[in-house]
Structure 1
Amino acid sequence: MNRRVLPRRARCHQCQSTHILLPVALTARRADAAAVIAHAVESSIVSGAGHRKIAAQLGRPQTTVRGWIRDFRANAPAILTEFTARVHRATAESLGFWPTPAPTAAANALGMLMAHARVLAHHHGAIPGQAPVANVTWPVAALAGHGPWFFSGRQRLEAVQHQPALPQEA
């Protein structure tokens, strides 16, 4: 389903540059929603499906899907490191959210992203003694943890560079 989005802009009070504000379901510099990219990554890592099969299921070009999967696998060690620290810092009960070790770096990274999603659900919707009332998917947790650049290529875990889009007022 195609949907047109007109993103809003806002000026950063710290750097005085303007930024495009994307809804949480979208990623920077990608035409597809985060859920579509996440589905492709998850299908590849969890079920071992190839990029051609995934592309056919999603109705996307093979090269695009292959790029998503390659980018995730290339960034898996950095993703694992970044989100392991987030899960560890987030809660004293982090061992309850810790994923079991997986055979590949990409599977470990995906497991840690899912753990981060469980931590967010726990912190933002849990009632003591009851099951969490919030459900957070791992793509939303990834975007919440790192911003809209998470699914945007191999540089996704580097700091976002601020560039003035409007001249500064005197």
Structure 2
Amino acid sequence: MQRVEAPVLTVEADAVRVEARLLAGGIECPDCGGVLAPWGWARRRVLRSVKGVVRVRPRRARCSGCGGSHVLLPVFVLVRRVDLADVIGTALAWKAAGSGARTIAARLGRPVETVRGWLRRFERRAEHVRVYFTVLLVDTGPDPIPPAGSVSRFADAVAAVVGAWKAAVSRWPDVGEVSPWHLAAAVSRGRLLSPSWP
């Protein structure tokens, strides 16, 4: 039996700002465009960063229009991952640059099987990720230049993610305050490594 993932909406990292927007009716339902309102909390999570652990308890919200509920996931989190998006993104970038799973695991202080899992999941979706982020790059950038092809689909997909981030930064400089992997988490609704996305 396949586990169904809860509907997720990616929001900014600042929980206080998210709560204020939610209470003011400033967060839109991604399914119907209705207004989301507070509706409890998701389970607490202890996540790993490069420097230690981060504790989060994502807000749940319910739509006044369609009645659907959503977990408001901070932009630095990927669905069903214990490591932050930047940690996983760093591993993906190192793999694209030619490092192997054992080397990456040692550099990040993570189990080899965990790192292999990230790399395999990304590899399976690499072409879809490449296409999606290349389209985002072209649609976003004021004078877009899609990344040139490289030695692998994996590296092409990573280049597309970084290219889309650069295009977004060139149009909206505030986007530069987040990493390419936060952008990837936001665009994918936290499902960058999930088989259901894109």
TM-score normalised per structure 2 = 0.68
Two-structure CA RMSD over aligned residues (Å): 1.8
1:19 corresponds to which of 50, 70, 84: 70
Q: Report if the CA contact (8 A) 2:142-2:170 is conserved.
A: no
Give the match for residue 145 of structure 1.
187
1:121 and 1:136 in contact (8 A); partners too: no
Q: How far off is 1:135 after superposition?
A: 4.4
Between the aligned partners of 1:59 and 1:92, the Cα distance in structure 2 is: 39
CA distance in 2, matches of 1:11, 1:149: 20
For the residues of structure 1 that align with 2:59 and 2:138, how far apart are their CA atoms?
34
Unaligned stretches of 5+ residues in structure 1 = 127-132, 158-170
- Find the aligned partners of 1:43 and 1:149 in 2 and give their Cα distance: 20
Q: CA deviation at 1:100?
A: 2.4
Q: What CA distance in whole angstroms lies between the structure 2 residues aligned with 1:86 and 1:39?
A: 21
Distance 1:102 1:6, change over 3 A: same
Name which of 49, 52, 67 aligns with 2:102. Answer: 52
Structure with more of its chain in strand, by fraction: 2
2:133 equivalent to 1:91: no
Normalised by the size of structure 1, how large is the TM-score?
0.78
CA shift, 1:80, in A, is 1.0
**Aligned positions, number:** 147
Tell me if 1:125 matches 2:167.
Answer: no
Cα 1:134/1:56, change in 2 over 3 Å: closer
**Runs of at least 5 residues in structure 2 that lack an aligned partner in the other structure:** 1-51
Distance (whole Å) between structure 2 residues aligned to residue 13 and residue 68 of structure 1: 36
